[in-house]
Amino acid sequence: MKFLDIGEVAALSGTKPSALRYYEEAGLIASVSRHGLRRQFPPEVLLQLKLIAMGKSAGFTLEEIAGMFGDNGAPDLPRDILREKANQIDRQIHELTALRDTLRHVADCPAPSHMECPTFRRLVDLAGKRGGKHKSSATRK
């Protein structure tokens, strides 16, 4: 069994050792044993880290990510919850698409003030149209 030192994982994944320890603490990854004091990570951890990176980039908190992928590293939840997460992400994709298109439009639109440009307004309107829950703004307390 070829296990990995924290430094190797760091090098291979681009994640700093301190962050890796933090992730282990938070239950997102797990080392299988110790070699002396040193954590030994199974190679799968690299895949898990990729998933974690994806989740972060999706705007999920580490806690949400931890909930999304079980201790074993692979997604491990009731199917309908997974689907709900997927839909959440889908909504976000739509928002991002609108933002991307808005920026692209602005980069090409010759109008003096974008606020007046109907295309601009339509694009922006198009954004928020999706129910708008996620973990944002006005839902707390």
Rule CB under 8 A: is residue 30 a binding residue for a copy of itself? no
User: Which residues in 70-89 contact a copy of itself (CB under 8 A)?
Assistant: 72-75, 79-80, 82-83, 85-86, 89
Phi, psi of 128 (to 5 degrees): -70, -5
Which strand (E) or helix (H) includes residue 73? none
Nearer Cβ to a copy of itself (5/46) = 46
Reference 50, options 82, 76, 74, 22; nearest CA is 74
HSE of 111, CA atoms in CB hemisphere, 13 A = 12
Size of the site for a copy of itself (CB under 8 A): 55
**Helix 79-108 × helix 118-128 angle, to 10°:** 170
* Residue 18 binds which entry of a copy of itself, DNA, none, CB below 5-8 Å type-dependent: DNA
* Residue 17 binds which entry of a copy of itself, DNA, none, CB below 5-8 Å type-dependent: DNA
Rule CB under 8 A: is residue 56 a binding residue for a copy of itself? yes
Nearer Cβ to a copy of itself (35/74) = 74
